[in-house]
A and B are shown apart, each in its own frame.
Chain A
Amino acid sequence: MPESSDALLRLEGVHTDIGRYQILGGVDLAVGRGRVTMLLGRNGAGKTTTLRSIMGLWKPRAGRISFDGRPISGMTTPDIARLGIAYVPENLGIFGKLTVRENLLLATGRQGFAEPRLERVLKTFPALKVKWNASAGLLSGGQKQMLAIARAIIEPHPMLLVDEPTKGLAPSVVDHLIEALKTLKSEAATILLVEQNFRVARAVGDEVAVMDQGRIIHSGAMAALAADERLQQRLLGLSLGAVA
């Protein structure tokens, strides 16, 4: 994992409760600048809660979260987003009654779309151009996922949090998303990506952190985990084959 000076986002001893239940029990995580960090783990391990705690959607009970050296744990969600953290939630957060154009427009500043950026996003996700004036609620699952990611990158953000982007998608759509994430990676974007699909994690991840029962139980290079079948078995409870 990155050294302190390299980390754009840092979580130290983060505890988050939902109601009476403790979900995060001291999460320590560093997300390196310009790196793609995969957050893996079984269902209920606390991955989504970690992202929501970063965004201030659930307030941590204890611990410290800092972004670019600045503490953000006590900040409101809009203030955290204004620092430049874009968030794609697990449910995508698509506004179904709004058009594709309006969904994207919401993620831009007062000046509206920056043409070169818009063109590039629509080149990455051409389906959105076809559906430009259609209600987002009528898009397919894959198109909604593309819209959610397009909305997060329509303006440049120092950091991107993405929660299970490939969940429930057909393999061909997953391949398309992998390519889109690789494009972002090639632009030195800093991404924290929650993913259950190991193939995706292997394809785009630089670093990996594995969660279990509300804690990080392993962190290191993605390549090392991909190459070690026994480690996969121990951490994730299943072996996905070793790829050097």
Chain B
Amino acid sequence: MTASWPGTIEKWAPYAVTPLLMIAALPAMGFGPWLTLTVAGLCMGMMLFLMASGLTLIFGLMNVLNFAHAAFVTTGAYIAASVLWRLTDWTMEPSLALNLAALAVALVVAAVASGALGYVFERLVIRQVYGAPLRQILITVGALAVVEQLIIVVWGPGAIPLPRPAMLRGSVFIGGSAIETYRLVALGVGLLVAAAMHLVLTHTRIGLLVRAGVEDREMVEALGYRVHRLFIGVFIAGTALAGMGGMMWGQYQTLVNSQIGNGMTILVFIILIIGGLGSVGGCFIGAVLVGLMSNYVGFLAPKLALGSNLLLLVPILLWRPRGLFPIAEH
């Protein structure tokens, strides 16, 4: 059977949105600024992807609206700050290998700690509110406030600095444009995690179950799989990714406070809606679009910067009301 032209265009058009946005921005600013802003946008997109990808799976698989997701972003950032403070010998050394090793250790510890917290959170909080969306919203918003206060108890009310390692502070020049070294690292980490997620989702049985569960959880259960157990694993992975995202974002901001995750909540939900609920690929493209749009609009029309994501969200929803790559039916 040969697919019709309109069908083919309809299928592939969402993939064209990102390149079209990049091409459209080029004549408005010239190549130098365009390259700098594009790399900055992609880097921001990768960090947003880390924060949002777990949430889209959590929602897609179990229909759980977890507004406390931001708490894991914040926890990851604080844990990473604590780890990096203990590794100042490595971060201050003008050695790229030691600097990257320090970042890797912080990233792993932040992910493990956030994932462990995610496990406890699922057992104590989320488990009580399956199938009750209103209670989910109330209890997770409440839990977010509790975690933020607990963070203040442990780390204090003030913001704590999270300086970048010595070799990641400057810029590199590519094509005559200055690009921050840390942004390139963040871009690399994001791409690496996205590739790993893609591999797991497309080449493993667990990935197959997750993709099937996002589409039709009931049928997966009717095939004999215990989706709740699968969901616990996804929840832990999702919160671990949020922790990694928090670490990368905190390092990007060079400052961590108890609101660092909460401040990203709206952006993360916009990404989920743009990408299509339950779709990791959609989440990736949504995050890149939001990152690029924020940077382009911030440069071209700074007064519109705050609303830049709505400028993106509204036309996409008018075109595709369920997002670019919808999977979950709910």
Contact = CB atoms under 8 A, between A and B. Distances in A.
Given A78-B226, A82-B224, A97-B327, A106 B208 contact: yes
B327 A89 contact: no
A76 B224 CA distance: 10
Given A95-B216, A97-B327, A110-B205, A57 B211 contact: no
A107 B209 CA distance: 11
B225 interface: yes
B218 A93 contact: yes
B166 interface: no
Contact of B222 (A77, A98, A102, A105): A77
Nearest to B208: A102
Nearest to B221: A77
Interface in B205-237: 205, 208-209, 211-212, 215-216, 218-227
Contacts of A151: 223
A237 interface: no
A89 B225 CA distance: 16
B205 A81 contact: no
A87 interface: yes
Interface in A81-122: 81-82, 87, 89, 93, 95-98, 102, 105-107, 110
* Chain A: number of interface residues, binned into ranges: 20 to 34
B211 A97 contact: yes
Given A97-B327, A110-B205, A81 B212 contact: no
B327 A93 contact: no
* Chain B: number of interface residues, binned into ranges: 20 to 34
Contact of A81 (B1, B209, B215, B223): B223
Contact of B212 (A57, A76, A87, A106): A106
Interface string A137-154: 010000000000001000
A55 interface: yes
Contacts of A96: 215
Contacts of B222: 55, 57, 77, 81, 87, 89, 93
Contacts of B219: 89, 93, 95
A81 B218 contact: no
B214 to A, nearest CB: 8
Q: State the 8 A-B residue pairs at the shortest beta-carbon distance, nearest first.
A: A93-B219, A81-B224, A77-B221, A82-B224, A78-B226, A87-B222, A95-B212, A95-B215
19 contacts: A55-B222, A57-B222, A76-B226, A78-B224, A78-B226, A81-B221, A89-B222, A93-B222, A95-B211, A95-B215, A95-B216, A97-B215, A97-B327, A98-B215, A102-B208, A106-B209, A106-B212, A106-B225, A138-B1
Given A78-B221, A95-B215, 18 more contacts: A57-B221, A76-B226, A77-B218, A78-B227, A81-B221, A81-B222, A82-B224, A93-B219, A95-B212, A95-B216, A96-B215, A97-B327, A98-B212, A98-B215, A105-B205, A106-B209, A110-B205, A138-B1
